[in-house]
Structure 1
Amino acid sequence: MLYVVTGPPASGKSSWITAHATPRDIVIDLDRIAVALTGPGAPQWNHDAIVQRVAQRARFAAIDEAVKHLDEVDVYLIHTMPGPKARARYRRLGARIVVVDPGEETVRERVRAMRSPAMDRVVTRWYREYRAAGPAPTRQASRQW
């Protein structure tokens, strides 16, 4: 099964995957890829443009290969804001879309505490586009409290 995990920055997408994926599953997370491609002490988020570009290319390659094995393993893919083309591809693959959203106030607090100020614009864009698109098939908080 392909799980496409969406949600605004700092919503808990990685935490949701940690709670659901098994060690045998494939997890494709741009932040984890970027950290894997950088040296010791590199930031967990807020990578520079070159690291982002290289990580993005690695992510595309990982997705292309992972979807060939959906009959053998589950694949968890973080995609914050999939566009129409990506959503159509995910539908063709029979993906389950999971929206992780603990609420805008919580997300903005987390972004202020953990991310760069530029991420606030991404949060604004995510909520604007999410509200315009209507509710997604599965919407959950990042953790069951």
Structure 2
Amino acid sequence: MLYVVTGPPASGKSTWIDAHATPRDIVIDLDRITTALTGPGAPAWNQHPLHLRVAHRARYAAIDEAVQHLDRLDVYLIHTMPNARALARYKRLNARIIAVDPGRDIVMQRIASMRSPEMERVATRWYNARHRLPTEPMPQASRTW
């Protein structure tokens, strides 16, 4: 099964996956990939644009490979704001789309304390487009921060 986990920045997408995925599953998370590709002490968020560029390429390759094995394992993919093309692909793959959203106020507080200011724009775009996502209700709240 493919689980596409969506939500604004700092909403708890990784935490949701940590609570549901098993060691046998594949987790494709751009933050984790970037951390794996950078040296010790690199930030977990607010990464350098060149680090992100390399990590995006690795993410695309991981997605392409992982979806070939959905009959044998579960794949958890974080995709903050999938566009129409991505959503169509996920639909063809019979993905479950999960929205993790503790609420705009909580997200904006988390962004202010942990993330770069441009993430506020990303969160605002996510909330403005939220009605277009064919998501399932989030089965649990994200962690308390």
Q: So what's the TM-score if we normalise by structure 1? A: 0.94
- Whether contact under 8 Å (1:99, 1:138) holds in the other structure is yes
Q: CA RMSD in A?
A: 1.4
Q: Matches of 1:135 and 1:62 in 2, distance apart?
A: 24
Alignment-derived partner of residue 15 in structure 1: 15
Where in structure 2 are the equivalents of 1:78-117 lying within 5 Å? 78-117=78-117
Contact 2:2 2:96 survives alignment (8 Å): yes
Letter of the structure 2 residue corresponding to residue 109 of structure 1: Q
Residues 57-103 of structure 1: CA deviation (Å, up to 9, x unaligned): 00000000000110111000000000000000000000000000000
Q: Distance in 1 between matches of 2:39 and 2:136?
A: 38
Deviation of 1:143 after TM superposition, in Å, equals 4.4
Counterpart position of 2:138 = 139
Aligned residues with identical type, % of pairs: 67
Structure 1 letter corresponding to 2:38: T
Residues 1:109 and 1:135: Cα distance change in structure 2 (over 3 Å):
farther
Q: Contact 1:34–1:51 (CA<8 Å) still a contact in 2?
A: yes
Distance in 2 (alpha carbons) for counterparts of 1:89 and 1:138: 21
Structure 1 ranges of 4+ moved more than 3 A: none
Return the alpha-carbon distance in structure 2 between the equivalents of residues 120 and 72 of structure 1: 38
Q: 1:129 to 1:12 in 2, by over 3 A?
A: same
SS in 2 for 1:77: strand
Residue 51 of structure 2: aligned partner: 51
TM-superposed CA distance for 1:137, in Å, is: 2.6
Consecutive unaligned residues in structure 2, runs of 5 or more: none
Question: How far did residue 49 of structure 1 move?
Answer: 1.2
